[in-house]
Amino acid sequence: GENVEQHPSTLSVQEGDSAVIKCTYSDSASNYFPWYKQELGKRPQLIIDIRSNVGEKKDQRIAVTLNKTAKHFSLHITETQPEDSAVYFCAAPASLFSGGYNKLIFGAGTRLAVHP
């Protein structure tokens, strides 16, 4: 089955610096890779996702890159701000059901702290 590894488990940066979180997956058939952000005491929320037909996707200060050959994908946050402090989860699908991915395997999470 799918296995997702995420690094680092904790990341501390100064405000304005960039942050990079990396994930590797095992199932070469996977083709949808979301990233979720979970603030303290809140629910996980999708911040960006990428499909395997593109290598990079950007949305303002966040971007995701995908290397299908190496089976890894990364989240990049530029010009970090204190409100970026949260736990970030990557995920990869484990099975396809009627056109959609019904099972996501989540990485163990990265606790990002942005210091003013």
Query: Is 109 near another protein (CB under 8 A)?
Result: yes
Could you give the maximum distance between any two Cα atoms of the chain, in Å? 47
Query: Is 57 near another protein (CB under 8 A)?
Result: no
- One residue of 20, 32, 52, 113 binding another protein per CB under 8 A: 32
Q: Which is nearer to another protein, 13 or 101 (CB)?
A: 101
3-class SS string, the chain = CCCEEEECCEEEEECCCCEEEEEEECCCCCCEEEEEEECCCCCCEEEEEEECCCCEEEECCEEEEEECCCCEEEEEECCCCHHHCEEEEEEEEEEEECCEEEEEEECCCEEEEEEC
Query: Is 99 near another protein (CB under 8 A)?
Result: yes
Query: Is 13 near another protein (CB under 8 A)?
Result: no
Q: Which residues contact 69 (CB under 8 A, 6 or more apart)?
A: none
- One residue of 75, 87, 112, 114 binding another protein per CB under 8 A: 87
Least separation in angstroms between CB 98 and another protein: 5
Q: Which is nearer to another protein, 44 or 80 (CB)?
A: 44
**Given the rule CB under 8 A, which residues bind another protein?**
32, 34, 38, 42-46, 49, 87, 89, 93, 97-106, 108-109, 111
